Chains A and B, each alone.
Chain A
Amino acid sequence: MSASTAAAARYEPVIGLEVHVELGTRTKMFCGCPTVFGAEPNTQVCPVCLGLPGSLPVANKAAIEATIRIGLALNCQIASWCRFARKNYFYPDMPKNFQISQYDEPLCTDGWLDIDVDGEVVRVGIERVHLEEDTGKTLHVGGATGRIHGATESLVDYNRAGIPLVEIVTKPVPGTGALAPVVARAYVAQLRELVRSLGVSDVRMEQGSMRCDVNTSLHRPDEPWGTRTETKNVNSLRSVERAVRAEMARQARVLAAGGTVTQETRHFHEDTGDTTSGRSKETATDYRYFPEPDLVPLAPDPQWVQTLRAGLPEPPRTRHRQLQVHWGLSDLDMQAIVNAGAVELIEATVAAGATPDAARKWWLQELSRQANEAGVELTALEVSPVSVAELQRLVDDGKLTDKLARTVLAGVVAGEGTPVEVMAARGLEVVSDEAALGAAVDAAIAANPEVAQRIRDGKVAAAGVLVGAVLRSTGGQADAKAVRELVLARLC
């Protein structure tokens, strides 16, 4: 039993998630600077997003529309009137030393998202959806890890300052027991599908266009809820699950030892799967929120909201049901695909010619394993659905065995090229040519005279030993079937 499951036996977890989504608008939230990723530092900056004295923000209509659509898709109430607010604190990646965000008047409130977990439906309440501007990027130089600790200086790039950011905050989710980590992961995975279906963001955790903070607390049954901690640096679906697991286990240890859980922000570590304490603060930061005087209130026209509601795409769950039927999968199998964030990948692989089962096998087994090892999302791997389909074709054509295919795949992920290219470059193709194999077969027979004799005597099953020997001597590249035929032909 894992430590978190043990924890859930004694204590009940309550989880909450804060997800930030970078919108894919053409321009920033409050100015017309472009949002294209990867530009040279400080080349996508203007007086407004640089916070130069005298500059003023003007709100991006497309960003507001996208936020309302997210709220509607999450069954929220859309505010009839709301404002932006200033969140005041000093940090060099924030040019104005305040962030324009929303405080007590968010654009969307009080919604829910039904998610499928382990064959059940869990309703996750949505507290609020609001809009804010993102910060610039700081590089910490001089320390060992690239983090602040030990750095001697920092370098700031404001290209990303002002990118529109939607913050989606759940209501606390109690009653999930030992499944809490899985529920957390499923929520993020399914929220991602939902946001992607709206076309408002590419929601790629590995690129930072979707970020997640997880809140966890434990309490004894029938007692008030415990102190919660916030865990940051949760950069993949797998990390969401691991972070909740780690916190549940850690908090349980603290409580079991008679201690109290400190309210704090913790940092999740990919490599160890543990959380460590951030700088602990005696009191929560007072952001001195007040309504943003440089912006006027938003009062979304009810007709407009209605049009947006009517124009929402079909919810992913509906689409998933259809795919599930089409692919002939069980509920659990489909949920596994959704929670691995692999729906679109498998769809594309099937479109490229593979069967659903083959696509599922590759993405959920071998590629998921590789993604986990590398600590990244599936979508971050350097392999396209087209390549996966091509790989399966090679197996179907007998050019690769399953095992060889996995090696080829590793090569593709490492960036060596398409499956066909990697197979050729590394010389991994299955050899079934009689002439090529003949020598190896003869060598195996010569090396195993007793076995050979048994085969001559009629123990055909012993051929397997010689086949194994040939496979080993050819590095697994011999076509086992062809080898067997050759062995039998020689000896029978």
Chain B
Amino acid sequence: MTEQGNRAAGPDADLTRWSAAELGRAIGAGEVSAEEVTRAHLDRIAAVEARVHASLHVDGEGALAAARSVDSRRAAGQAVGPLGGVPVAVKDVLVTRGIPTTCGSRILENWLPPYDATVVERLRDAGLVMLGKTNMDEFAMGSSTEYSAFGPSYNPWDLSRIPGGSGGGSAAAVAGCEAPLAIGTDTGGSIRQPGAVTGTVGAKPTYGGTSRYGLIAFSSSLDTPGPVARTVEDAALLHAVIGGPDPRDSTSIPAPVPDVVAAARQGASGDLTGVRLGLVKEFAGEGAEPGVSAAVRDAIEALTKLGAEVVEVSCPHFRYALPAYYLIAPSECSSNLARFDGVRYGLRVGDDGTRSLEEVMSLTRDRGFGPEVKRRIMLGTYALSAGYYDAYYGQAQKVRTLISRDFAAAFAAADVLVAPTTPFVAFPFGARTSDPYQMYLADLYTIPSNLYGGPAISVPCGLSEGLPVGLQVMAPTMADDRMYRVAAALESTVGLFTPPEL
């Protein structure tokens, strides 16, 4: 049922199939140039982008220049790092100096930021080659990329289906081999759920473990940049590059990233003796498609064969996670998105000399934002209003405390928690857009970790009707290494996933 991925066989094997670790090693050893690797990926983009639409902007010239610079450094005898010269695509929610950054929204169409996000700086400093910016649901709100103002991205497994969201572009780019690595951001599941439905690895680090400086804010207390890759080791390598404290982000954790690469390598040995896997009782039988439940069950069984133990845990407040999230996130976003008003940057509509500023702002925002964004802004405005604050936003933050306590209790009995990443496999376009709440259900299993702040990863675990299913592994805050170990162990036994040819 699973397909083995194509590993690099020799110098003329398709470079776009290689893992990032292999590419980095080969570039560092001088076996292949960074420029050649970049060209191969730019060619791949040219070949498939029309069908996949993973990218909003491809910076071919910038990428080649960066690649050549890596090659020069290497030729001059300088160390280029384990990911030096490896291509990466960046979700269009992170600012990139001089390169259009839109958040998938008309209100920022063609906006050129004058500065780089910290995560982007770290990619550059580590010698990665940024290919371009990937498509996303507008302002990171959505689970299918159908809410992008510039058209959706397409799932390489089945082009009539969604690649997940909000980071569908990053996942589709990696699944479709346009890049071996991508950066996403996860607020309610936006890295993990696309990972699950595209058969890729998507990880959400501990909140605060990766800097939010330069991440265009959706929900400030939840947004977390993280890695997207085709292997667990690749995701860990990327995580190690982008993670760590940042004095420009007051909420960043003042401690180094745990050694996630070592944990991934340890997990790959396939020994999970003594590791306790917590199965969340409240997630059992709750809304998942039968095929998804079956694949997840099989995966958990595979993990027990590697020595892990299964423990049932109860997290009674997890059933309130979705409603709490859909109060907290819109509330924060209603405030975060207030700055888009046509005054300092971005779209301005209706300034014909007769209108007041208030009218111009309101027209700008109404034309510039899509319906999902507007819904959430209004919802958030409501939840923060005097008279409603205590019952909605205030109450949701208390539920958050209770959810965190549930996690704490669960992690007393288990080392990690395992669950499906998302209740359904990739659904067809249009299947969930008529009822917004149907779309929200895609985040059912991912949201609790966001509210708690703990790390979680989605790793491909099987197929259901030919479409990928992801297993989610959740760990305590600051224990990111733990989830990489278990994910790598699973990967070692189920193998890698490659989508059918595009």
Contact = CB atoms under 8 A, between A and B. Distances in A.
Nearest to B331: A290
B339 A97 contact: yes
Please report whether the interface of chain A is mostly helix, strand, loop or mixed according to DSSP. loop
Interface stretch (B212-220, B234-242, B402-410, B430-438): B212-220
B1 interface: no
Contacts of A288: 334-335, 381, 384-386, 389
B343 interface: yes
A154 B95 contact: no
A296 B361 CA distance: 31
A294 B103 CA distance: 20
B250 A57 contact: yes
Contact of B335 (A52, A53, A290): A290
Interface string A29-73: 000000000000000000100111111111100000000000000
Contacts of A294: 212, 217, 220, 250-251
A47 B338 contact: no
A52 B115 contact: yes
B342 to A, nearest CB: 10
Nearest to A287: B386
A90 B114 CA distance: 24
B66 interface: no
Contacts of B220: 293-294
B115 A47 contact: yes
- Range, interface on chain B: 35 or more
Contacts of B343: 92, 156
A295 B214 CA distance: 15
Contact of B250 (A59, A96, A154): A59
Contact of A95 (B114, B334, B339): B339
Contact of A54 (B216, B221, B247): B216
A147 to B, nearest CB: 15
A294 B223 CA distance: 11
Contacts of B111: 53
B393 interface: yes
Interface string A75-116: 000000000001010101001111000000000000000000
Nearest to B346: A53
Interface in B205-228: 212-217, 220-221
Given A47-B114, A56-B248, A290 B213 contact: no
A56 B250 contact: yes
- Range, interface on chain A: 20 to 34
A397 B177 CA distance: 94
Contact of A51 (B215, B221, B339): B339
A53 B216 contact: yes
A95 B344 contact: yes
B428 interface: no
A429 to B, nearest CB: 58
B116 to A, nearest CB: 9
A95 B361 CA distance: 13
A286 interface: yes
A57 B220 CA distance: 12
B268 interface: no
Nearest to B345: A52
Nearest to B365: A90
Interface in B90-119: 94-95, 101, 103, 108, 111, 113-115, 117
B385 A54 contact: no
A53 B389 contact: no
Contacts of A57: 250
B146 interface: no
Interface of A: 47, 50-59, 86, 88, 90, 92, 95-98, 154, 156, 286, 288-290, 293-296
Interface of B: 94-95, 101, 103, 108, 111, 113-115, 117, 212-217, 220-221, 247-251, 331-332, 334-335, 338-341, 343-345, 357-358, 361, 381, 384-386, 389, 393
6 contacts: A56-B251, A58-B248, A90-B338, A95-B344, A97-B338, A296-B251
Q: Across chains A and B, which 7 residue pairs bring their CB atoms closest together, nearest first?
A: A97-B338, A293-B220, A288-B384, A293-B221, A53-B216, A54-B214, A54-B95
